[in-house]
Amino acid sequence: MTQNGSLVDELQRLEAQALTAVEEAASADALEEVRITFLGRKEGRISGILRRVGELEPEERPRVGAEANRIKSRLQEALDQRQAALEQASRSDSGELDLTLPGRRGWQGGRHPVTRVVDELVEIFRGLGFTRARGPEAETEWYNFEALNTPLDHPAADEQDTLYLKGGHLLRSHTSPVQVRVMEKHEPPIRVLAPGMVYRRDSYDATHTPGFAQLEGLAVDEGITFVDLKATLAEFARRYWGPGTRVRFRPSFFPFTEPSAEVDVKRVVRRADGTEEETDWLEIMGAGMVDPAVLEAAGIDPERYTGFAFGMGPGRIGLLKYGIPDLRLYLDNDIRFLQQFSDR
């Protein structure tokens, strides 16, 4: 065997040793030691062999040089791959990045639970002949109080209950002003629903929030009686909670209706084992016949027309429907809570 063949064989043995050392390097420092040992310019073992090339015949030197270059390129590639593997392992161990975890799906929005309830209520009343109406959230005292038979010395108009704005306006405390605006613009027959946000100086707790959704309804026509009110709300309750739902009307007082009533429902719920059980009576809304003074303030002849009105809180309805224990969950913007109501 010539000296040329001997140097080539020696280079190939070094290649095998170096590749093994690279694979076994457990840290960046160990990997650097392997690089210096085999590829270092002064003390590197491959460089040591190349220094002996000058002893070869001129025609034999190219083969040794070509083999040395191939091995150096192969070792550098192995070193780079091992370094990348060590860096990835280091990031995974530190929690910075773990590429083995499955990718997260993009967030997809859904309707808020209160919005879902409002849409369901509107759809039911649409089937009963009602249309949807809207009005401004910043109202005047006339529309919020006086046109609804509520004088400004009434406790409801006190600053302790109502949020007043500059310029003689206030944040509406109910959606009843929408009913007045509709009656001013349209002749009977009228059947409208007015959903929207209302604002009061309430405490912020499990059953009260300063801002909340409300939905009110109004029907005005010739010959409307309390029987029509009871029939409409009873039909709504059966369509929303099921045919076994019972409805109860209790006498109450509201400045803008006379007579007035609180409306309660007793629902039939199905247990997990398939049995059915009636709930206790639960109050869901206030209602009554529109006071003649309210019709007159809106420009409608109370001698010719009568009407009924009702109002409910979709947020509280949602508590009953979905078993939600706290109104504040609607406003916390907790994705874990809200994603339960996603349309996906």
Determine contact, residues 150/156, Cβ cutoff 8 Å: yes
Average pLDDT of the residues of the chain = 87
Distance between CA 198 and CA 218 in Å, rounded? Answer: 17
- Nearest of 226, 269, 272, 216 to residue 249 by alpha carbon: 226
Distance between CA 18 and CA 167 in Å, rounded? Answer: 84
Q: If DSSP codes are grouped into helix, strand and coil, which group holds residue 252?
A: strand
Structure confidence at residue 92 (pLDDT): 62
Average pLDDT (173-198) is 95
Average pLDDT (90-119) is 75
Determine contact, residues 141/173, Cβ cutoff 8 Å: no
pLDDT digits (tens, 9 = 90+) for 286-296: 999 999 999 99
Distance between CA 89 and CA 229 in Å, rounded? Answer: 71
Distance between CA 217 and CA 311 in Å, rounded? Answer: 6
pTM to 2 decimal places = 0.66
| CATH number, span 113-341 | 3.30.930.10
Q: Which of 45-54, 215-224, 312-321 has the highest mean pLDDT?
A: 215-224
Contacts of 37 (CB under 8 A, 6+ apart): 18, 21, 43, 44, 45
pLDDT band per the 50, 70, 90 thresholds, residue 1: very low
**Phi, psi dihedral angles at 23 (to 5 degrees):** -65, -35
Task: With a cut of 80, say whether residue 172 has pLDDT above it.
Answer: yes
Task: With a cut of 70, say whether residue 245 has pLDDT above it.
Answer: yes
pLDDT digits (tens, 9 = 90+) for 260-282: 999 999 988 777 777 888 888 98
**Percent of the chain, pLDDT > 90?**
44
pLDDT digits (tens, 9 = 90+) for 5-58: 577 888 888 888 888 888 888 888 888 888 888 888 777 787 777 777 777 777
Determine contact, residues 264/250, Cβ cutoff 8 Å: yes
pLDDT band per the 50, 70, 90 thresholds, residue 178: very high
Measure CA 197 to chain center: 18
Determine contact, residues 192/179, Cβ cutoff 8 Å: yes
Distances (CA, A) of 242 to 32, 126, 169, 276: 75, 18, 42, 12
Lowest average pLDDT, out of 155-164, 181-190, 240-249, goes to 155-164
H helical segments located in the chain:
3-24, 28-39, 45-50, 61-94, 113-127, 141-144, 176-185, 226-241, 292-297, 314-322, 335-338
Lowest average pLDDT, out of 16-25, 159-168, 224-233, goes to 159-168
Q: If DSSP codes are grouped into helix, strand and coil, which group holds residue 216?
A: strand
Distance between CA 267 and CA 270 in Å, rounded? Answer: 10
What's at 146, amino acid-wise?
A: E
Structure confidence at residue 304 (pLDDT): 97
Distances (CA, A) of 141 to 89, 95, 134, 176, 260: 68, 59, 18, 12, 23
- CATH 3.30.930.10-classified regions of the chain: 113-341
Q: How many Cβ atoms sit within 10 Å of the Cβ of residue 120?
A: 16
Task: With a cut of 90, say whether residue 311 has pLDDT above it.
Answer: yes
- Nearest of 78, 86, 66 to residue 38 by alpha carbon: 78
Structure confidence at residue 94 (pLDDT): 58
What would you report as the CA-atom Rg of the chain, rounded to the nearest whole angstrom? Answer: 40
Determine contact, residues 156/216, Cβ cutoff 8 Å: no
